[in-house]
Structure 1
């Protein structure tokens, strides 16, 4: 499983941080940063929620 983001399109709503603060954060410039690009399977539901809740649809989750 791999998380990715289109950083140029992020508008810093922070919904990903709300869904999974251990996987995402907003940096000093208010853009999303992925803290763990390859989260463990037990974090899958939180990663999926973060991707689903992103208003700008800049996050993606690829499952091997």
Structure 2
């Protein structure tokens, strides 16, 4: 009898990258269009990626670790 395989969510794997210590790296929103109305400082800060907040990580843990 075969068991059901658990797969990670495709949308999560596209949006987040898992680091070696298990933290999730993500990219900023508001970068895709209407850049002319944003300041240079805002666009520069949006270029950088950041780590996912620990409270959000608790919600996504089950979906990512499959």
TM over 0.5, shorter chain: no
The structure whose Rg is larger is: 2
Relative contact order: is structure 1 or structure 2 higher (C-alpha 8 Å, sep ≥ 6)? 1
TM-score (norm 2): 0.28
TM-score by length of 1: 0.28
Considering fraction of residues, name the structure with more helix.
Answer: 2
Looking at secondary structure, tell me which structure has more strand per residue.
Answer: 1
